[in-house]
Structure 1
């Protein structure tokens, strides 16, 4: 009942016929793009912004992450290139756009962008919006008066994103470790009935594929990205220490009758 009250008729597991009638002529993809300044700065990665970007992110770390700075003083530094190879760097908007394109999403795809402000603003988002111009957020969908009651409550703003992402035709994420992505993907796995696809890139494998961008053919790139995504959609038994929100069908977190 709670799910019905929260999500109305836009449940992920309703029949395709009812879904078409409920949604109207437009389908959409929801994307949780984790590229906020705190995540970018904390990652210690290089995003091609030159010395200005390095100084800006260094200053942000010193102000907001003093414990990280102390830890770095007593540890062996890891180069940005190695961090990227290990899959520890946030996906950029440009990389997210290329992944979606390789999976067959066309220019006319309607995309809802969940999350906070993207580091770098419009200039950083330009490669993405050039490829996918039909991009909306809760700030552009709602009027200022509609958004006002939620404005000072981050958890309520996140709840708006959750509703839109959970009920989307396709949900894509750039960081599977985030709380929102875990909750949404878990919900869609549990209630979707196999009809609520979630695209979950493996950043380590993606980094290896992107490292060949000067030599790899587009068809080969498409095939490798699709294989990576398809393997990420499989439901596995939850490993030790893994999120129960992301993998809710695991036997160890299901209620059992006596």
Structure 2
């Protein structure tokens, strides 16, 4: 069967097919501004020769709305949201719930990371932003794209969550270790890119 697709195997040698896939993957690039700002943040994190961990803490409202009473009420009051009964405890036992900021501290401590560890939080707006304070109390070197960029640098991106996520992607991609707490699209994309670049250290905590 002949397919009119650049990545279809139209009876070409496997080596050529691999080259096609690699060339197409390498061609995927963010805009120069996003790559540049991402590099600025990476350089800031690595100043003084320090390594850093990129922690994808997926604890935004959309992830917690099934479990937190306040958000569940908001969810049911919005007509465009689906009425779907979700048991938070059951999802947790199935490993389908991201870990909380408190559990993040427990995980890092159990893994033996000292309080001086350099940590970048790759995330949208955390539900209950004060929850990060408990992480910061134990790991004061806690950073986000907001703390490592100026208002002027973020101004072109601040109203576009996908562009801010792209900044997080660049920083996570270049990290010395990437930890993700939910196996969503962002985590899969970063994990795949790091694997492509040489199986860089990536950890998925056991949530069961």
Is the TM-score greater than 0.5? yes
Counterpart of 1:180 (choices 186, 193, 198) is 186
Partner of 2:64: 40
Which structure features the higher share of helix residues? 1
**Which of 127-136 and 159-168 deviates more?**
127-136
Q: Is the aligned partner of 1:96 residue 2:110?
A: no
Task: Write the distance in 2 (CA, Å) between the matches of 1:97 and 1:34.
Answer: 14
Partner of 1:159: 166
Query: Secondary structure of the residue that 1:171 maps to in structure 2?
Result: strand
* Deviation digits for residues 59-86 of structure 1 (CA, Å, limit 9, x no counterpart): 22124575531x43xxxx74x4333222
Q: Which has the higher contact order (CA 8 A, sep 6+)?
A: 2
Q: Is the aligned partner of 1:113 residue 2:121?
A: yes
Aligned residues: 173
Counterpart of 1:200 (choices 182, 186, 204) is 204
* Deviation digits for residues 187-217 of structure 1 (CA, Å, limit 9, x no counterpart): 00111x23x201112322xxxxxxxxxxxxx
Give matches, 1:189-228, under 5 Å.
Answer: 189-191=195-197, 193-194=198-199, 196-204=200-208
Contact 2:75–2:81 at 8 Å: present in 1 too? no
Partner of 1:59: 73
Q: 1:23 to 1:190 in 2, by over 3 A?
A: farther
Task: Write the distance in 2 (CA, Å) between the matches of 1:60 and 1:98.
Answer: 30
Contact 2:91–2:97 at 8 Å: present in 1 too? yes
Task: Write the distance in 1 (CA, Å) between the matches of 2:132 and 2:152.
Answer: 26
* RMSD, aligned α-carbons: 2.7
Structure 1 spans left out of the alignment, 5+ residues: 11-21, 46-52, 205-258
Give matches, 1:221-240, under 5 Å.
Answer: none
Structure 2 spans left out of the alignment, 5+ residues: 1-25, 40-45
Contact 2:58–2:182 at 8 Å: present in 1 too? yes
